[in-house]
Amino acid sequence: MSYARPVVCRVKRIGDVSRCMYSDGGYLAKKITHMIDGKHIAFDIIEQTIRYAGKISLRGGTIQIESHDDGTSSVHMLTRYELHGPARLIPRFLINLVVSAMHKIVIDDMKARLVRSPVLAPARVVEFQEAS
């Protein structure tokens, strides 16, 4: 499975586009549709060239960050996708494994950014939930 490279642009407002590059040369372009700074972001996938895009089309999703009183945070992720052709016959748990792997990449990148940021260093990602 390919892995995501760090996102090169940061989104600041609704309508901004972020491109996530993957190690195999593919990418996802995400257009921000809703945003609450530091808490919630919703996006639509407007372009994708990842290797399984012809079988599984990613449509969009949300990332929600919930802060806790003890200084930790929970991250809740949801991905919308559509299956095409024979991929519709793939067992749901296998599709969920692929989506989970993609979510883990995002979570790992978020953790790495928190460690590098002196302002955000006290926060920790302690929970990973997904729905697809």
Q: Is residue 92 part of a domain?
A: yes
Q: Is residue 41 part of a domain?
A: yes
- Supply the CATH number for residue 39's domain: 3.30.530
pTM: 0.73
pLDDT (mean) for 24-47? 90
Question: At residue 76, does pLDDT exceed 70?
Answer: yes
Closest CA to 80 of 131, 26, 5: 131
Q: Is residue 7 part of a domain?
A: no
Q: Is residue 1 part of a domain?
A: no
**How many separate domains does the chain show?**
1
Question: At residue 124, does pLDDT exceed 60?
Answer: no
- Domain boundaries, position 39: 17-127
Q: Is residue 5 part of a domain?
A: no
Backbone phi, then psi, for 101, in 5-degree steps?
Answer: -65, -40
Question: At residue 8, does pLDDT exceed 70?
Answer: no
Q: Is residue 9 part of a domain?
A: no
Q: In sequence order, which residues have a C-beta less than 8 Å from that of residue 69 and are 6 or more positions away?
A: none
Q: What CA–CA distances, in Å, run from 71 to 29, 34, 48, 99?
A: 32, 25, 36, 28
Q: In sequence order, which residues have a C-beta less than 8 Å from that of residue 32 and are 6 or more positions away?
A: 11, 13, 14, 15, 16, 17, 18, 41, 42, 43
Query: What does the block give as tokens for 8?
Result: 């090169």
What confidence score (pLDDT) does residue 104 get? 83
Calculate what percentage of the chain has a pLDDT beyond 90.
20
Query: What does the block give as tokens for 59?
Result: 């449509």
**At 2, is the pLDDT very low, low, confident or very high (cuts 50, 70, 90)?**
low
**Do residues 4 and 109 make contact, with C-beta atoms less than 8 angstroms apart?**
yes
What confidence score (pLDDT) does residue 132 get? 42
Q: Is residue 95 part of a domain?
A: yes
Q: Is residue 11 part of a domain?
A: no
